Structure 1
Amino acid sequence: MAATAPKPDVFQAIADQTRRSLLRLLVDQEMPVTAITGHFPMTRTAVSKHLRILSDAGLVKSRKVGRETRYRLQPEPLLELKKWLDYYERFWENKMAALQRYVESDEE
C-alpha cells in the first residue's frame, strides 16, 4: 500500500515565486488556465501543476465553464499566514523601538 504525500499547506504553497505571482494575478478576477499561462514563460502543464498545489492548499478554487477551467483566489487560508506574521511583527516593532531609543539617547 503506497503512502500518499501530505497536501501542501499555505506556507509550502506560497514558498514558490511563481505561485505567489499566480495569487497576485487572481486577486481581482477569475481566469481560465489558458489566459493565466500567457502571463508566465512556462508551459500550460507547468502552470497547471502550480495551480494544483495552490488548490490543494485551499488558496484557489476551480470551476468548469464549458470546456475551460477557470481559477479564482480563495483568500481565507491566508489568514493563517497573517496570524503568523502578526506575531513576528510585534517582535520587530519592539526591536525598532529599542533601536530608536538607543540612537536618540546617543545623540545627546
Structure 2
Amino acid sequence: MPAKHLNIPNDLSSVNMTKGTDTLEITVTATCTWCYSDPNGVFPPPPGFLAAGTYNVTTPHTTYGPYTPQNDGVVEFGVSIPPVPCSTTGITATGHTITVTGGNMPHSKK
C-alpha cells in the first residue's frame, strides 16, 4: 500500500490510518517548526516519529519516514513558521490530527 503523505507547512489536512498497515511520510516544503502530541503512543520508539523541531527546506525537498503506527489513537500536530513557536494546544478544532484504528500488530495496545 502506498504511503500516506503530509507536506509541511502547507498541507495540514487530517490523516486516517490503519495500525500496522499504513505508513506516513512527511515532506518539508518550506522552512517550518513541527510539533506533535502523541499521548496514546501511536508512534512509540523505536523508531518513533518525526522529532519536534525546526526543519529547513532543501532542494529537492526532504522527505522523512515512512512512519508506521503501532497503536490506536489520535496524534495532534502543528506547524509554524519561525520565529513563531509551534503548539498543539487547541488544534483539534482545526483538524490537524492523525487518527489510527484497526489492524493487528503483535504486542500493540488495543
Shorter chain as denominator, the TM-score bin is: under 0.3
Structure number with the higher strand fraction is: 2
* Bigger Rg over Cα: 1
Higher helix share: 1
Q: TM-score, normalised by structure 1?
A: 0.26
Higher relative contact order (CA 8 A, sep 6+): 2
